[in-house]
Amino acid sequence: MGIFEFIRDNFLHVVPILVAGFIAVAIIFERAQTLFKTYTLPAKDAFFDKARELVSKGQMNEALALCQQFSGKPTAEIVKVAIERAHQPEELIMNSVELTRNKYAELIQKRTSYLATIANVATLLGLLGTIAGLIESFAAVGHADAQQKAQLLANGISTAMNATMLGLGVAVPCMIVFSFYINKANRLVAELESAGLMALDSIMVCSLNQNQNDRRVS
């Protein structure tokens, strides 16, 4: 029995697995767009170096303009929030940075874990179809003529194995993509941490330089 014939003859068993597969495809495309394009900052190291240089020199307007060039990128937004509160105490800056980091970390990790759930569900649905196919097969064999038993048993086992294969056909790609996406999400979250620390450190350097200049003047 071919896979297409199996789908046609066992549509009720197949529908849940296919629905899970379609949902997974939608999540995969949406997360690919979000993680690898919308939230990824191009030339990250160059941005960090330029932002650090501007903030350390006290050129806050120029640093804000640099962040606005990458509006919507979580890393740039973290730096922007820190710069906008550069005149506030260190603790308030840290709180604002932490709140912004948590907000974007949640958006970055959003829906990615669903792929692992879909993989598990698809595997279990395939196993359910396998068990159902075997039960139906043995029930049919029990009431069949001796000449038909071998054919019925072969067809039943084929149906059961196709159910397993279809479930794994959905589950395996989901788990592979999930591994790539969770790794990318973790890197983006770590990048947010680095951006916050870099911005805070640069603001402290700027403040220290200003204090030293004021002492020299006085």
pLDDT, tens only, 21-50: 999 999 999 999 999 999 998 888 898 888
61 vs 83: CA distance, rounded Å: 9
* DSSP string across the chain: --HHHHHHHTHHHHHHHHHHHHHHHHHHHHHHHIIIIISPPTTHHHHHHHHHHHHHTT-HHHHHHHHHTTTT-HHHHHHHHHHHTTTS-HHHHHHHHHHHHHHHHHHHHTTHHHHHHHHHHHHHHHHHHHHHHHHHHHHHHHTS-HHHHHHHHHHHHHHHHHHHHHHHHHHHHHHHHHHHHHHHHHHHHHHHHHHHHHHHHHHHHHHHHHHHHHHHH-
Mean pLDDT, the chain, rounded, equals: 84
Residue 210 and residue 150 in contact, taking contact as beta carbons nearer than 8 Å: no
167 vs 126: CA distance, rounded Å: 4
- Quote the pLDDT of residue 128: 85
pLDDT band of residue 60 (cuts 50, 70, 90) is confident
- Residue entry with tokens 């929030």: 81
Query: Would you say the pTM of this structure is higher than 0.85?
Result: no
pLDDT, tens only, 122-132: 999 888 888 87
pLDDT, tens only, 91-121: 888 888 899 999 999 999 989 999 999 999 9
> What type of residue sits at position 123?
T
Residue 182 pLDDT greater than 80, yes or no: yes
> What type of residue sits at position 192?
L
Residue 157 pLDDT greater than 80, yes or no: no
pLDDT band of residue 188 (cuts 50, 70, 90) is very high
